[in-house]
Amino acid sequence: MDSKKYTVLDKINCNADVRALPHDEVKTLCSDVREFLVDNVTKTGGHLASNLGIVELTAAIHRVFDLPHDRVVFDVGHQSYVHKILSDRKDAFSTLRRAGGISGFEKLRESEFDCFGTGHASTSVSAALGYAEADRINGRDNYTIAVLGDGAFTGGMIHEALNNCDKKLRLIVILNENEMSISRNTGALAKQISKTRASKGYLRFKRRTSSVLPKVPLIGKPLFKFMRRLKRAAKHAIYGASYFEGLGLKYLGPIDGNDYDSVEHLLQEAKRIDGCVILHVRTKKGKGYAPAETDPSSYHYVGSDYSGNFSEHFGNTLVELAKKDDKICAITAAMQDGVGLTRFANEFPDRFFDVGIAEEHAVTFAAGLAAAGMKPYAAIYSTFLQRSYDSIVHDVALQKLPVRLIVDRASLADGDGATHHGIMDVSFLSAIPNMCVFAPATFASLDRFLAASTETSVPLAIRYPNMKDDARINEIFFKDGDTDTVAHKDFENVQSNRVVIITYGRIVTEALTAAEKLRAQGIECGVILLETLKPYSIVAKRVAEWLPASPAAVIFLEEGIKNGGAGMLTFEKLRERHGAIMANKNTQILAVDDTFAIRTQDESIFRTAKISANDVLRAAVHLTATLKKPQNEVQ
């Protein structure tokens, strides 16, 4: 770090330094932090625009509250970078999102300043409420602060938690509005009242009125009650019924969240209120960095490239299908760009639905569309699809409704880490009756599955990783124009293959590398690529047709969780039909086995999960017993 560049930030080595900083240096600190963020995040990748917008708010939290005695939970956690810099991780910030480095989200065991692990949206208030109730039970005087954006506010868990907030708790919920309007503001008068209600004079007058007026003999209490009713009537006439105060919670704001003095003043006021309080601030995404201010969407996540990947191809194909079929609808849970549906949204706005961060609702909503005769495609990241499990079981599969689940980012997440690994979906979808699961390996395969899905009568899932079309996969498995939708093989002489690797998805490249290494040692090896994962009876039938009579080793390689995964269920079906061939002694499943695959070293994520090409080689050696230990292991 260039100490001459960050004149004030260079003085900050811990949270105590932030609290001790003279007030007249705080604005310079905020400027330094923004420059530091741009310098680092543009190199490491990560969430930039939201963190640039929350600098003043985070600095004020660190100065007003006694962290980590008091606690703060940032919803999703992608906007916790400033918090990390100002607590104890400034010098480690260059390791952001790297193996063994600091996480791009709050992580419980990374620092005492991270009181709760995050990564998925709308969990902050529930977690903070748990802390606040624990403090009440144990007689502690801690403050707990939850910071959430207006995007997270669309998630149902936030409202479930608010509904359970005891107004006497030392809980402060900060709603950071940085994109869409939450409050109903009507004209200049409403704006002026918002400004007045958050001003120092108003708050001071409110405190004095509340404490002094009721003590005036005879008329004090009646007058105070009359003024309070009059104020509420006037406020509700302008704003409509106050959602938060309707829940019995105090509400302050909205204020300019990028005005440090206003933010610090509002936080001090929140501490003086005896009970749960909602603070409403408005910040500007990308604040202080012109490119991000102009186009915050593009700078939401630096380092992401959605062009040319499966997501974009899915979106383009769905547009072409929708031109011919007016029953096709598309649904996303606040991830329009990420899942490739921007073009669809522009061309078919009446058939496009962004339901906000509400995956459970997205799936049941899709079920309703399907029941009404529409053809819904719900595109959701694999890691977020976990949140909709009950809806898939109860509202889709049980009723056998033709909902098309598009499972994006279905793979290990190299940068974001365990919170975003897409490795559970095959296992949990496989356990659901009536569900079909497909894993197209190329763009052409994806097109075939999408075209066929328009006429489906059952629920199905089409899953794919975050990658572009791979020429190697096309050349090896589809060189003869193979259009099979079940499986493909890269070998001709079946009986000569002593080792057979069965796999699906992105990790087929590791299988091919392992096969090349084995062949280099004179060991014949074939690879079977699955594109249909369920129904397993169909998969087992095709694989059985290709297996040699007496293979030395059959290895199932899976970039997914082992328990209940495709390997386990496919092998079970194969043993039912071909027990002699699939003896336990010469078969092995290499999958993510009872771990969250958290990288702690500078190694590939496949190696961390023990499903790399090297792991396949070692398994082959173990199973055959006649193979020599492979030389020159790949990384």
pLDDT at 182: 38
Does the annotation mark 359 as catalytic?
Answer: yes
Catalytic residue among 106, 179, 359, 360: 359
Of the listed ranges 186-190, 376-380, 531-535, 550-554, the least confidently predicted one is 186-190
How many CB atoms lie under 10 A from the CB of residue 10? Answer: 15
Q: What is the pLDDT of residue 301?
A: 77
Q: What is the pLDDT of residue 304?
A: 65
pLDDT recorded at residue 549: 77
Residues 404 and 541 in one domain: no
Q: Is 480 within a domain?
A: no
Q: Is 387 a catalytic residue?
A: yes
Average pLDDT rounded to a whole number, residues 587-592: 95
Region 606-630: mean pLDDT is 83
**Residue at 629 is within a domain:** no
Select the more confidently predicted residue: 331 or 303: 331
- Tell me the mean pLDDT in the region 603-616: 93
Q: pLDDT tens, 261-318?
A: 999 999 999 999 878 999 999 999 899 888 888 888 778 878 766 679 999 999 999 9
Three-state SS at 325: coil
Determine, yes or no, domain membership for 631. Answer: no
Instruction: State whether 286 and 331 are in the same domain.
Output: no
> What average pLDDT does the segment 473-481 reach?
90
| Residue 130 and residue 166 share a domain | yes
Q: Does residue 469 belong to any structural domain of this protein?
A: no
499 & 428 share domain: no
**Does one domain contain both 546 and 583?**
yes
Which range of 174-188, 197-211, 421-435, 466-480 scores highest in mean pLDDT? It is 421-435
164 with 273, same domain: the answer is yes
pLDDT recorded at residue 185: 36
Residue 481 in any domain: the answer is no
Task: For CA atoms 221, 223, 224, 226, give the dihedral sign.
Answer: positive
Tell me how long the chain is. 635
Looking up residue 549, the CATH number of its domain turns out to be 3.40.50.920
Hey, what long-range contacts does 239-245 have (CB within 8 A, 24 or more apart)?
239/183, 239/184, 239/185, 239/190, 240/184, 244/162, 244/278
From 71, 97, 107, 285, the catalytic residue: 285
Looking at the structure, do residues 53 and 173 belong to the same domain, yes or no? yes
Residue 243 pLDDT greater than 90, yes or no: no
* pLDDT tens per residue across span 23-59: 999 999 999 999 999 999 998 889 999 999 999 999 9
User: What gap in Å lies between CA 609 and CA 607, rounded to an integer?
Assistant: 5
Higher-confidence position of 438 and 521: 438
Give the structural domain span for 565. 488-624
pLDDT at 553 over 70: yes
Which whole-number Å values give the CA distances from 566 to 316, 381, 484, 582, in the listed order? 29, 19, 19, 16
User: Over 60: is that where the pLDDT of 359 sits?
Assistant: yes
Contact 374, 403 (CB under 8 A): no
Structural domain count of the chain: 4
Arithmetic mean of pLDDT, 385-399:
97
Q: Is 4 a domain residue? A: no
pLDDT of 375 over the 90 cut: yes
| Beta pairing class for 487-489 and 525-530 | antiparallel
Per-residue CA distances from 573 to 295, 537, 568, 582 (Å): 52, 6, 9, 10
Catalytic pick from 90, 387, 409, 498?
A: 387
Contact 331, 366 (CB under 8 A): yes
What is the residue whose two structure tokens read 């039970």? Answer: 137
Under the banding of pLDDT at 50, 70 and 90, the label for residue 1 is very low
Q: How many CA atoms lie within 13 A of 369 on its CB side?
A: 24
Whether residues 230 and 205 fall in one domain: yes
Position 52 in a domain: yes
Residue 576 has pLDDT above 80, yes or no: yes
Q: Are residues 509 and 413 in the same domain?
A: no
Give a yes or no: residue 335 inside a domain.
Answer: yes
Asked whether residue 525 falls in the same domain as residue 610, the answer is yes
Residue 439 confidence (pLDDT) above 50:
yes
Report how far apart, in Å, the C-alpha atoms of 87 and of each of 155, 393, 451 are.
29, 43, 52
Sheet holding 171-177, edge to edge: 71-74, 144-149, 171-177, 277-282, 250-256
d(CA 173, CA 164): 13
* pLDDT tens readout for residues 141-191: 999 999 999 888 888 899 999 999 998 999 999 999 986 433 333 344 334
| CATH code of residue 334 | 3.40.50.970
**Quick one: 414 and 494 in the same domain?**
no
pTM over 0.95: no
Would you tell me the crossing angle of helices 220-239 and 200-212 to the nearest 10 degrees? 140
> Is 170 annotated in the active site?
no
Specify burial of residue 633 (Cβ count, 10 A radius: 0-12, 13-18, 19+).
middle
Per residue in 499-546, pLDDT (tens digit) is: 999 999 999 999 999 999 999 888 889 999 999 999 999 999 999 989
Query: What per-residue confidence (pLDDT) applies to 227?
Result: 60
Is residue 238 scored above 50 in pLDDT?
A: no
Whether 582 has a pLDDT exceeding 70, the answer reads no
Highest mean pLDDT among 210-224, 473-487, 614-628: 473-487
212 and 262 housed in the same domain: no
pLDDT digit string, tens, across residues 190-236: 344 345 455 566 556 566 666 665 666 666 667 666 666 665 555 54
CA separation for the pair 574, 133 (Å, rounded): 52
